[in-house]
Structure 1
Amino acid sequence: MECDRHLLMKEYVKMMTDMIVLCVTLALSLFFWVVSLVISSYYGSLQPVSPWRWLFSILIPLVLTARALKRRSLDRTGALAALLVGFVLTMANLSFFSSLMAFFITSSKLTRWGGAKKRKMDAEYKEGGQRNWVQVFCNGGVPTELALLYMIEVGPGEIPVDFGKQYSASWMCLSLVGALACSAGDTWAAEVGPVLSQSQPRLITTWKEVPAGTNGGVTLVGLIASLLGGLTVGVAFFVTQLLTVSDLHMANPQWPIMVYGGVAGLLGSMVDSFLGAHMQYSGFDASIGKVVSHESATTRRICGKAILDNNAVNLFSSVLVALLLPGLAWGLWPQSE
């Protein structure tokens, strides 16, 4: 009887908490809407943002972040950082939001997959891959900055990628997709390669065989996985464009964004491996039989120098892909007739 009463009270508290969260987000969305109305009337050229967009941009990232925190995909600092990243990307463009979700959800699931095998190879393996704020910002910081620039350029809303009509905004869209695809490609390669690959990794700079877990080591399975990870981000962006942009038929073809995502995922993974091979220390520790990222008396150096850690390498890779790849896509993007 006491147990039933305790469960009933627990369900009641959960229901009341959900109601309070919903009421607070409704109040916030209405408050932000009123503020946007005042600002738009003052400046004249700005369009007020719908209260429903405010509500969606606050509520959905909040629900997803709370779920990730409960499943231990994020720690508390990571949850706060993810909430900020999710809010900015959702407010800016729903295609940004769907691309972010494609990266985060698939990466979180793949991180948990094959944990027993990864634990044997990775000395720093964490159950569930719980990410902190540094890891969130190293993967989501560049997309967040691009989303803010996008809102300054065209305001919140969905537009087709069309260099002829919206040059700067289209560039920002491709840069953002490239950064997320780069992060997805690297994560997919790191999580899928060690589990499925039947061959030893090869160092990307010398092509010599190295132990699994070596920074800069690549496998064919890992490279294919990175291509698929980037492709997933591109598909999410493209499908959302189809669902949300009303005048898509008047713009340039949008399907190349899927190919672009795949190329960004593959290229980003290779850039990450190249930087890792040079700027991350990898050594084999005989005492534990695993590759480690620090020197010790029992460690034999494999490659790299202790200049950057994994988070910094991820950040530099996404920055390089975001800056360089849109310029190549601009010249190859098909034009509407």
Structure 2
Amino acid sequence: MTFFFLRNAKHFLPQVFLSSFFMTDLDNNSCKKYIKMITNIVILSLIICISLAFWIMSMTASTYYGNLQPISPWRWLFSVVVPVLIISNGFKKKSLDHSGAIGGLVVGFILTIANFSFFTSLLMFFLSSSKLTKWKGEAKKRLDSEYKEGGQRNWIQVFCNGAVPTELALLYMIENGPGEIPIDFSKQHTASWMCLSLLAALASSAGDTWASEVGTVLSKSPPRLITTWEKVPVGTNGGVTMVGLAFSLLGGTFVGIAYFLSQLVFVNDLDISAPQWPIIAFGGLAGLLGSIVDSYLGATMQFSGLDESTGMVVNSPSNEVKYIAGKPILDNSWLSSTQVNFTKLVIVLALLKKEKVVSLGPGFPKTV
């Protein structure tokens, strides 16, 4: 037998080595696939465990306090899984950096667990803003000295746009508990105000983003400074165009439509509630107002100057920079936060003033 093996070794040993080589490659590829699969299984298992832990806590709290409605495990699971998937995709596409992804998870989780209509509005704002930020990136790079590839947002930018909606979502859960409700002031006055305030915050952010990302590229006429109406270079803080204002209205309307459609899908008793279509008009109004407020704050509280060496508008004063407008008080992140808070405050105060309230439709506030 030994003699037979040695005599025929030259025939089958090369085949054995060749097979071993391909098997090693195959094993390496298989290992990578198995590792990826196991990683996904582990992550999914952790998410399920976290969701169940939250559900157990809500059941315990409901049993202890008696007047709290427990949140279903499916709602917990959806509120954890879906934001993780969306944020992971945004991180891969460079719409968010590491800190922005973590901040986005917090904001996304709280808005989703509170109300699916909140989540849908946030999702449409995030997706549309990310797409528009990347749209015609080369042209924007030539105009904006602070342009980032993919428009990566960090945790500061996420919370400047998401802190107000997150705060309102938490207050909404304290007032009403998690779940979707029709906006009807005759039945749920406080909760309806919170819903409109949150919609105003998201719509104003969307309106400002749509205006700045589209108006700078599509407008054929130079922008005008909102405070003096003088022509200014493209990229000047506080510069507005008719195209930009139109898209701010569209951006807010887009978020309003997302909220309205979510109401149709998730709210059960719409047939006995106030019509929900005024939400769309309200979103458009908030988007337009948000853009105007942002432009005014940018023109007065954010420095704009023309760098004569590059021909680009910059936000920091120096010897080589020619002054255009504004004072170096706020940067873009703080400006967005101030704009969101101010717009929400203006809209809510205007509507809450009973003597001068304008009716948005049946079931909405009316002049008293």
User: What TM-score comes out, normalization by structure 1 length?
Assistant: 0.97
Report the equivalent of 1:246: 268
Report the equivalent of 1:280: 302
1:50-61 aligned at under 5 Å gives the runs 50-61=72-83
Q: Aligned with 2:305: secondary structure?
A: strand
Match for 1:136: what amino acid?
V
Q: Out of 96, 104, 125, which is 2:118 matched to?
A: 96
Q: Using the alignment, how far apart are the partners of 1:26 and 1:193 within structure 2?
A: 44
Pair member with larger Rg: 2
1:132 aligns with 2:154: yes
Match for 1:294: what amino acid?
S
Given the superposition, is the C-alpha separation of residues 219 and 23 from structure 1 closer, same or farther in structure 2, using an over 3 Å criterion?
same
Report the equivalent of 2:226: 204
Q: Aligned with 2:254: secondary structure?
A: helix
Contact (CA 8 Å) 1:174, 1:322: kept in 2 or not?
no
Q: Out of 99, 116, 133, which is 1:77 matched to?
A: 99
1:262 aligns with 2:289: no
Q: Out of 46, 57, 60, which is 1:24 matched to?
A: 46
Please state how far the C-alpha of 1:4 moved relative to its aligned partner. Answer: 5.5
Q: Using the alignment, how far apart are the partners of 2:64 and 2:348 within structure 1?
A: 36
Match for 1:159: what amino acid?
I
Q: Out of 240, 243, 260, which is 1:218 matched to?
A: 240
1:325 aligns with 2:352: no
Q: Using the alignment, how far apart are the partners of 1:245 and 1:298 within structure 2?
A: 58
Please state how far the C-alpha of 1:6 moved relative to its aligned partner. Answer: 4.4
Contact (CA 8 Å) 2:185, 2:363: kept in 1 or not?
no
Please state how far the C-alpha of 1:3 moved relative to its aligned partner. Answer: 6.0
Please state how far the C-alpha of 1:11 moved relative to its aligned partner. Answer: 2.8
Report the equivalent of 1:335: 362
Match for 2:113: what amino acid?
M
Q: Aligned with 1:157: secondary structure?
A: coil
Deviations 1:69-110 (A, max 9, x none): 111110110000000000000000000000000100000010
Q: Using the alignment, how far apart are the partners of 1:336 and 1:275 within structure 2?
A: 34
Given the superposition, is the C-alpha separation of residues 188 and 126 from structure 1 closer, same or farther in structure 2, using an over 3 Å criterion?
same
Identity of aligned residues (%): 56
Contact (CA 8 Å) 1:183, 1:314: kept in 2 or not?
yes
Contact (CA 8 Å) 1:143, 1:179: kept in 2 or not?
yes
1:169 aligns with 2:191: yes
Match for 1:153: what amino acid?
E
State the aligned residue count: 337
Q: Using the alignment, how far apart are the partners of 1:69 and 1:158 within structure 2?
A: 29
Q: Using the alignment, how far apart are the partners of 1:96 and 1:234 within structure 2?
A: 11
Match for 2:38: what amino acid?
M
1:83-122 aligned at under 5 Å gives the runs 83-122=105-144
Q: Using the alignment, how far apart are the partners of 2:227 and 2:326 within structure 1?
A: 11
1:195 aligns with 2:217: yes
Match for 1:16: what amino acid?
I
Q: Using the alignment, how far apart are the partners of 2:25 and 2:151 within structure 1?
A: 34
Q: Using the alignment, how far apart are the partners of 2:230 and 2:36 within structure 1?
A: 55
Match for 1:52: what amino acid?
W
Which has the higher relative contact order, 1 or 2, with Cα contacts under 8 A spaced 6 or more apart?
1
Q: Aligned with 1:249: secondary structure?
A: helix
Q: Out of 179, 182, 186, which is 1:160 matched to?
A: 182
Report the equivalent of 1:291: 313
Contact (CA 8 Å) 2:58, 2:70: kept in 1 or not?
yes
Contact (CA 8 Å) 1:260, 1:329: kept in 2 or not?
no
Moved over 2 A (4+): 1-14, 326-331
Given the superposition, is the C-alpha separation of residues 8 and 35 from structure 1 closer, same or farther in structure 2, using an over 3 Å criterion?
same
Please state how far the C-alpha of 1:324 moved relative to its aligned partner. Answer: 2.2
Please state how far the C-alpha of 1:8 moved relative to its aligned partner. Answer: 3.6
> Unaligned stretches of 5+ in structure 1?
none
Deviations 1:2-48 (A, max 9, x none): 66654443332222222111111111111111111111011000010
Q: Using the alignment, how far apart are the partners of 1:127 and 1:8 within structure 2?
A: 34
User: What TM-score comes out, normalization by structure 2 length?
Assistant: 0.89
Q: Aligned with 1:200: secondary structure?
A: coil
